[in-house]
Amino acid sequence: MGGEAALADDLELKAQMAAIGRRAREAARILATAPRAAKDRALREAARRLREHTSELLAANALDMDAARGRGLSKAMLDRLMLNERRIEAMARGLEEIAELPDPVGDELARWRRPNGLEIARVRVPLGVVGIIYESRPNVTADAGGLCLKAGNAAILRGGSESFHSSRAIHACLVEGLRVAGLPEAAVQMVPVTDRVAVGLLLQMHETVDVIVPRGGRSLIERVYAESRIPVLAHLEGICHTYLHERADPAKAVAITFNAKMRRPGICGATETLLVDRSVAETLLPPVLARLLEAGCEIRGDETVRRIEPRARAATEEDWRTEYLDTILAVRVVDGLEEAIAHINTYGSHHTDAIVTEDREAAERFLREVDSAIVIHNASTQFADGGEFGMGAEIGIATGRLHARGPVGVEQLTTFKYVVRGDGQVRPA
Amino acid sequence: MGGEAALADDLELKAQMAAIGRRAREAARILATAPRAAKDRALREAARRLREHTSELLAANALDMDAARGRGLSKAMLDRLMLNERRIEAMARGLEEIAELPDPVGDELARWRRPNGLEIARVRVPLGVVGIIYESRPNVTADAGGLCLKAGNAAILRGGSESFHSSRAIHACLVEGLRVAGLPEAAVQMVPVTDRVAVGLLLQMHETVDVIVPRGGRSLIERVYAESRIPVLAHLEGICHTYLHERADPAKAVAITFNAKMRRPGICGATETLLVDRSVAETLLPPVLARLLEAGCEIRGDETVRRIEPRARAATEEDWRTEYLDTILAVRVVDGLEEAIAHINTYGSHHTDAIVTEDREAAERFLREVDSAIVIHNASTQFADGGEFGMGAEIGIATGRLHARGPVGVEQLTTFKYVVRGDGQVRPA
């Protein structure tokens, strides 16, 4: 009997998910040609409701926080889950900022005329239906829903069970905004169960979902990559490097390395490995590492590094492949530009890598040959961010190579079509 | 014992495929910064060798043709497999035309300056390693290998067993070209076995292969979509429509419909369903259908169509969803623009769809609301082709929505990276 009941539940969930997919597809069709004013109004009205309903949001969040404490979640997890007035205001402001961004839909990216008189244009259009799978941060509900809406996409949000009540309260504000703006309420839907099975079902809905955007830890992303029948835009990991070239300016080397590691060690653009040319290791490493050690950063170095800075622990091969997301820095001495590039292309995650040098030619070679989404000369890797790039809000940094590489903002949530205008042309045999 | 031998074979094949992947990744690293002159030289030298070795190519093809006849392959399959002097010359000319195309690698797509002085550029770079899985057409070996090379990608070609000898002979010419030009021979590799297991292995090699391009029938494409751990650029099917609006010019209606169906009924851009407005069905259909019937095209129509043209057979719901790739046309009467758009978005494959009308406003609404890779006003759907778009050679028409939608030429076989130039900037807290 238990098996039968479970089977009935599965069929019920499957039918529910399929219905969500159909509603999303229908909403996407309407959103694709919705005027900018309606989309922006929905965003602003949702922001207003987030502010108005602050106390309800905090109450919903308290339910989630209580349950999370009961389950003994870590302090970091609890912090990610927590809402307060400041965070609610930031979400509301985020939606208003999305409303202020230009509408990408309908932009003509190129236009040309063929010898036979055909006029061909490449025009930006929405992706369609975006499935977003995330974990404990409730603000993703507003950020991702808002970005998808602005780009003319319908969103299916599947948040984590920890943030269920918080996300549902935020989602209600988005739906209110849509309703007031006369847009389909199914433009932003939330999967009403937090069952893991729902994720598996969503990843197979290739007829109604056009792209999957997972936001979360490595195990979630790997599961999505392994199971998805739908194209995935994801951020797998950020093993970012800062490379101090033999012609690095010492002051820049100290400031950039410190910022790249310590500004916020837990973000994907934080530097995880420092490379330094052998010829300048003796002079550059002492001030660079001293500053880090003073601030409480652990250093894991190769033999040369440990000779120069005895407080460094021994690094293993594993350290070159590790995304610490913490106040730990792996440090390795290399024999020049070529070895630095080879190290980054071998051990890195093709996310963001920087060179510090006053040698323009070396910099240009680094920028050309390092195979990463973002390559940087003389600046901190922590600039890897849609906002810092001037793209407005982002849904994440994509580490895949196709479609959207780097920050995924409103423009990256669109695709294009070719519009061909003729006056009776037929194709010759 | 048989089981153990098979297991040993599988492990051997797995090791072989992994080695191919590693060599491809290494070759891709070199190709990514190879100068245009070297890539173009390799293409031209390969073309020269195709011409010089025509008799060897024909002999290799004769082996494949004999085996195919022995296995009782269809006439259409034999025609796809067959090489002759004209087809070999076309392959050689194709490689030379790819050499003449501009090199996309290094193109700066955009550049902007941030208030903090950071200069950000978006620069075109190769995709990396492209896996191409194809069936019986041996010319794909040259076309796909050449396009990948021009875009700076390494290619792993996995052809069908039917064309094994032909493809191997063509591949040898490509490798000779690479060698003469001083480029890595592993830039274009061929999987040396035609085992189906090799396809399964290739689709899991996400560490060394960046994108999969399948070329072939629906069952191959569906298998690739279902199994691939790697992003896929593919052409699933082309259920293309021509819609005769109530303000269609009758002469254009006849000429465009005839060309869209009959020029080459077997290509993906061929129209499969004709839609016509009820108000003009009585006047437009007789001349449009008469021309098609005279040329031997079968018509499958709804009730109204069959009343107007008694030679039409009855269409079923299934016909609206069928890609005939043959001299068969489904014909349906609709109640105006909105119903036409709804039919296309429901039954079509989002490939290429055309409207015939003198009403500019109706045309613009059609172009905006039909959700297809290519939308056309007053011209034949058979223009859906990279060459006709002015892109040069193409590897196919992608029906997915991400990255490359529509014709996949050299540019679509690239991605981009962000190059950030600073002078010491660190990110404020």
pLDDT, tens digit, for every residue of A222-260? 999 999 999 999 888 899 999 999 999 999 999 999 999
Contact list, B33 vs chain A (CB under 8 Å): 368-369
Measured over the CA atoms of residue A373, residue A376, residue A380 and residue A383, the dihedral's sign is: negative
Kindly determine whether residue B417 and residue A373, on different chains, have CB atoms separated by under 8 Å.
Answer: yes
Q: Tell me whether residues B375 and A418 touch, CB distance under 8 A.
A: yes
User: What is the nearest CA distance from B99 to chain A, expressed in angstroms?
Assistant: 21
Residue B1's pLDDT band (boundaries 50, 70, 90)? Answer: very low
Q: Provide φ and ψ at B72, rounded to 5°.
A: 70, 35
Task: Write the CB contacts of A370 (distance below 8 Å, at least 6 apart in sequence).
Answer: A341, A344, A345, A353
User: CA of B374 to nearest chain A CA: how many angstroms apart?
Assistant: 5
Which of A229, A232, A421 to mutate to test binding with chain B, by most B CBs within 10 Å of its CB?
A: A421
pLDDT digits (tens, 9 = 90+) for A258-271: 999 999 998 899 99
Rounded to whole angstroms, the Cα distance separating A313 from A318 reads 14
The pLDDT score that the predictor gives to residue A1 is 43
What count of other Cβ atoms lies within 10 Å of the Cβ of residue B3?
A: 7
Q: Chain A: give the shortest CA distance to residue B429, in Å.
A: 6
Of B251, B310, B301, nearest to B276 by C-alpha is B301
A425/B383 CB distance under 8 A: yes
Q: Do B345 and A426 touch (CB under 8 A)?
A: no
pTM for the complete prediction?
0.91
A366 vs B160, more confident: A366
Res. B75 pLDDT band, cuts 50 70 90? confident
Nearest CA in chain A to B225: A229
B25 neighbors B187 (Cβ within 8 angstroms) = no
- Window A:167-206, CB contacts with B under 8 Å: 206
Q: How far is it, in rounded angstroms, from Cα B143 to Cα A281?
A: 50
- Whether residue B2 is predicted with pLDDT greater than 60 in this model: the reply is no
Rounded Cα gap, residues B416 and B108, in angstroms: 9
Set of chain A residues whose Cβ sits within 8 Å of the Cβ of B240: none
- Residue A387: what residue type? G
Q: Is B130 exposed, middle or buried (0-12, 13-18, 19+ CB in 10 A)?
A: buried
Chain B CA closest to residue A377? B421
Assign B195 a pLDDT band (cuts: 50, 70, 90). Answer: confident
Q: Which fold has domain B240-383?
A: Aldehyde Dehydrogenase; Chain A, domain 2 (3.40.309)
Residue B185 banded pLDDT, cuts 50, 70, 90? very high
Min Cα separation A375/chain B (Å): 5
**Structure-token pair, residue A287:** 């001030």
User: For B417, which of A112, A125, A405 is closest by C-beta distance?
Assistant: A405
- Tell if the CB–CB gap between B417 and A372 is shorter than 8 Å: yes
Counting every residue written for chain B, the total comes to 429
Residue A390 phi, psi dihedral angles, 5° rounding: 85, 15
Q: What is the DSSP letter of B312?
A: P
Which residues in chain B have Cβ-Cβ distances shorter than 8 Å to A120?
389-390
> What are the percentages of helix, strand and coil residues in chain B, rounded to 5?
50, 20, 30
**Residues pairing with A16 in the sheet:** none
What percent of chain B clears pLDDT 70, i.e. is strictly above it?
99
Could you tell me if B71 and B163 are in contact, meaning their C-beta atoms sit under 8 angstroms apart?
A: no
**Amino acid (1-letter code) at residue B369:** E
User: Residue A2 has what pLDDT?
Assistant: 52
Q: Where does CATH 3.40.605.10 sit in chain A?
A: 16-235+408-418
Helices (H) and strands (E) in chain B, counts: 14, 16
Backbone angles phi and psi of A299, in degrees to 5: -115, 130
* Confidence (pLDDT) at B11: 85
Residue ranges, comma separated, of all CATH 3.40.309.10 domains in chain A are 240-383
The two three-digit tokens of residue B359, written as one number: 């009403």
| Partner-chain contact B368 A127, CB within 8 Å | no
Q: Which residues of A touch B353 (CB under 8 A)?
A: none
Among residues 104-143 of chain B, which lie with CB inside 8 Å of chain A? 106, 112, 114, 118, 120, 125, 127-128
Which segments within A248-371 are labelled E, that is strand?
A: 271-277, 298-301, 313-314, 328-334, 352-356
| B residues 362-421 closer than 8 Å to A (CB) | 363, 367-369, 371-380, 382-383, 385, 388-390, 400-403, 405-406, 415-421
CA distance B402 to B151: 19
CA A161-A164-A165 angle, 5° bins: 150
* DSSP letter, residue B153: -
Write out the two tokens for A169: 């309260």
Q: Please count the residue pairs, one from chain A and one from chain B, whose beta carbons lie less than 8 angstroms apart.
A: 196
Q: Which of A284, A222, A228 is nearest to A253 (CA)?
A: A284
Dihedral sign computed on CA atoms, order B248, B361, A414, A380: positive
Q: What CATH topology corresponds to B9-233+408-418?
A: Aldehyde Dehydrogenase; Chain A, domain 1 (3.40.605)
Tell me the chain B residues in contact with residue A401 when contact means C-beta distances shorter than 8 Å: 127-128, 210-211, 231, 415
CB atoms under 10 Å from CB of B100, counted, come to 11
Minimal Cβ distance to A415: which of B382, B402, B429: B402
Each residue's pLDDT, cut to its tens digit, for chain A (429 residues) gives 456 677 777 888 999 999 999 999 999 999 999 999 999 999 999 999 999 999 999 999 999 999 999 999 888 889 989 999 999 999 999 999 999 999 999 999 999 999 999 999 999 999 999 999 998 889 999 999 999 999 999 999 999 889 999 999 999 999 999 999 999 999 999 998 877 889 999 999 999 999 999 998 888 999 999 999 999 998 888 999 999 999 999 999 999 999 999 999 988 999 999 999 999 999 999 999 999 999 999 999 999 999 999 999 999 999 999 999 999 999 999 999 999 999 999 999 999 999 999 999 999 999 999 999 999 999 999 999 998 998 888 888 898 899 989 999 999 999 999 999 999 999 998
**Min Cα–Cα distance to chain A from B206, Å:** 10
Pick from A368, A375, A418: CB nearest B406: A418
User: CB-based contacts of A110: which residues, under 8 Å, 6+ apart?
Assistant: A121, A122
Q: Where in chain B is the domain with CATH 3.40.605.10?
A: 9-233+408-418
Q: How confident is the model at residue B420 (pLDDT cuts 50, 70, 90)?
A: very high
Q: Nearest-CA residue of chain A relative to B255?
A: A426
pLDDT given for residue B330 in this prediction: 98
Question: Which residues lie closer than 8 Å to B284 by C-beta, 6 or more apart?
Answer: B244, B248, B250, B253, B276
The domain A16-235+408-418: what is its CATH number?
3.40.605.10
- Nearest CB neighbour to A424, from listed B260, B373, B378: B378
Bridge-partner residues for B419, per DSSP?
A: A375, B121
